[in-house]
Amino acid sequence: MKELKSNITMEHAKSALNITAEIIEEFGPRLTGTPACKKAGEKLKSELDKLCTKTASEKFQCSRDAFLYFIRYFSISYVGAFICLISGSNWTFLAALLTSFGCIMAICEFVFYKEFIDPFFKKTDGYNISGTIEPSGEVQQSIIISGHYDSPHVFRFLNNNQKLYKLRVIITTGLYLLLTIFSLWASYEWIIQPSTFKINQEFINFMGVGLIFMLPYFFFVSWDVSPGAGDNLISAAIAVKLADHFSTLNLNHTRLVILCPDAEESGLRGAREYVKLHKETLHSIPTYNFNMDSIYRLQDLRILKSEINGIVALDENLGNKCTEIANSLGYIIPSMSMPFGGGSTDAAEFAKAGIPALSIIGLDTTFTSGNVPYHTSFDTVDKIEPEAVLACMQIAEQFILGIDKQF
């Protein structure tokens, strides 16, 4: 691909950062279902009202707190199962039940992003904000530029002693799995030889020491909410500024949709609802999703090859095209699969529905630096490099223009 020249400048990038700063200053952290989140969505819509042919604020309901509840349940059920094992006899069955349910919950809700325990949680309102810019000619394809605007709870393991984050998660997960396996084994042994069954005291002592690690796990998800500048208000602001840019240009046959989903931090619930609601339209013409999430540093920009802990593949052709565009603009952006435990971005919901999708992230997923702003109280605008914002905007611009020229 020949060298590309973008019309997006650093001024555009700084304008996106300014929108991000204004919304945070005016409304603060934006947990889905709170007045702050709703008002932030209204602010984004008001910006799109000036630029788009039509806009929408689509209300939906979701169980906001179900997605990460397994973390607190791990701590509670570990203590309960530990007490049951100390009690012995048929109490081992309850220990096995408690821990097995915790494992199933984590696998369904976090590993596969299935709404397993959602029916048991209070519903809260979310709002997907969108704007549409129609082309000058007949619509032959559509591009959805997306970036969620809700912000997450602070993760205490990331907010403090971040370099120990992965080790602490590995230890707690390992302890829980070990207790689950032992509880199941103890239940089986009690069934086949109840008269001679006795739990190993050394194992009980070891699991007791494990309480040192498991009790703090209850507070892993803080009640505090992150400012969410890089994760992920900046991406919503980038999308709005791209709408501003393309509102004065005439795309030939490409409908441009600017989408700011809500409830991404609740397990992609907003994007899931958007895809469900618009499924027929999404499949009526060729549609592509260009998603952005957690944009912080230029050196950390990556094009994702997969989502939902590496389980759902993103479109390889779009990923390759995005890499070519980046190279032609002078950026070296590697590709990577979403690591197991890394979660997902909204692009997964489009990919699951058969919509070609790609996602760009911009954070250090190793957390080795010890100061990654992701899911922390210090996720503020000053942690976002303007150069990273500029790169995302330029790549998105050329992606849109490239798709439009193909038809």
- 185 plus 303 within the same structural domain: no
Position 407 pLDDT exceeds 70: no
pLDDT at 360: 98
Q: If you average pLDDT over residues 374-402, what whole number do you get?
A: 98
Is 2 inside a domain boundary? no
pLDDT at 194: 77
Domain assignment present for 360: yes
CB 367 within 8 A of CB 165: yes
Kindly indicate the confidence band of residue 272, based on its pLDDT and cuts at 50, 70 and 90.
Answer: very high
Residue appearing with tokens 């992150």: 226
347: confidence class by pLDDT, cuts 50, 70, 90: very high
My answer on whether 183 and 273 are in the same domain is no
∠ CA 264-270-271, nearest 5°, is 90
pLDDT of residue 191: 87
pLDDT at 198 over 90: no
My answer on whether 74 and 52 are in the same domain is: no
- The amino acid that residue 179 corresponds to is L
Say whether pLDDT at 186 is over 80.
Answer: yes
Do 207 and 345 share a domain, yes or no? no
Q: Is residue 323 part of a domain?
A: yes
Q: What is the CATH number of the domain that holds 396?
A: 3.40.630.10
Token pair listed for 386: 């303007």
Say yes or no: 199 and 313 in one domain.
Answer: no
Distances (CA, A) of 109 to 67, 255, 319, 399: 6, 34, 27, 33
Longest dimension (CA), the chain: 82
First to last CA, the chain: 18
Q: Do 286 and 193 fall within a single domain?
A: no
Mean pLDDT of 282-300: 98
Percent residues over pLDDT 70 in the chain:
99
In a domain, 117, yes or no: no
202 domain-assigned = yes
Helix (H, G, I), strand (E, B), or coil: what is residue 289? strand
Instruction: State pLDDT tens for residues 20-43.
Output: 999 999 999 999 999 999 999 999
Total domain count for the chain? 2
Indicate if 394 and 358 belong to the same structural domain.
yes
Confidence check: pLDDT of 313 > 80? yes
Give a yes or no: residue 256 inside a domain. Answer: yes
Say what the pLDDT of residue 139 is.
96
Whether 249 and 325 map to the same domain: the answer is yes
CB of 115 within 8 A of CB of 66?
Answer: yes
Q: What pLDDT, on a 0 to 100 scale, did the predictor assign at position 89?
A: 84
The reply to whether 257 falls in a domain is yes
Does residue 388 surpass a pLDDT of 70? yes
Instruction: Please tell me which residue, 20 or 198, carries the higher pLDDT value.
Output: 20
Specify the pLDDT at position 131: 98
Q: Which of 221, 247, 273 is the last residue of a domain?
A: 221
169 within 8 A of 110, measured Cβ to Cβ: no
Please give the pLDDT value at position 1. Answer: 67
- What is the span of the domain harbouring residue 280? 10-62+124-152+226-405
Q: Is the residue at 4 inside a domain?
A: no
89 and 212 both lie in a single domain: yes
| Domain final residue pick, 221, 247, 269 | 221
Tens of pLDDT along 223-270?
Answer: 999 999 999 999 999 999 999 999 999 899 999 999 999 999 999 999
Identify whether residues 400 and 292 lie together within a single domain. Answer: yes
Non-local CB neighbours of 73 within 8 Å, separated by 6+ positions: 102, 105
Dump pLDDT digits (tens) for 96-135.
999 999 999 999 999 999 999 999 999 999 999 999 999 9
Indicate the pLDDT class of residue 190, thresholds 50, 70 and 90: confident
Please check whether residue 386 is in contact with residue 13, taking contact to mean a CB–CB distance below 8 angstroms. yes
Q: What is the DSSP letter of 1?
A: -
Q: Which of 203, 221, 239 is the last residue of a domain?
A: 221
- Please name the amino acid found at residue 259: L
> Per-residue DSSP letters for 74-134?
HHHHHHHHHHHHHH-TTHHHHHHHHHHHHHHHHIIIIIS---SSGGGS--EEEEEEEEEE-
Can you give the pLDDT at residue 159? 96
For residues 174 and 279, state if they share a domain.
no
Give the mean pLDDT of the chain. Answer: 96
At residue 330, does pLDDT exceed 80?
Answer: yes
Q: 190 and 286: one domain?
A: no
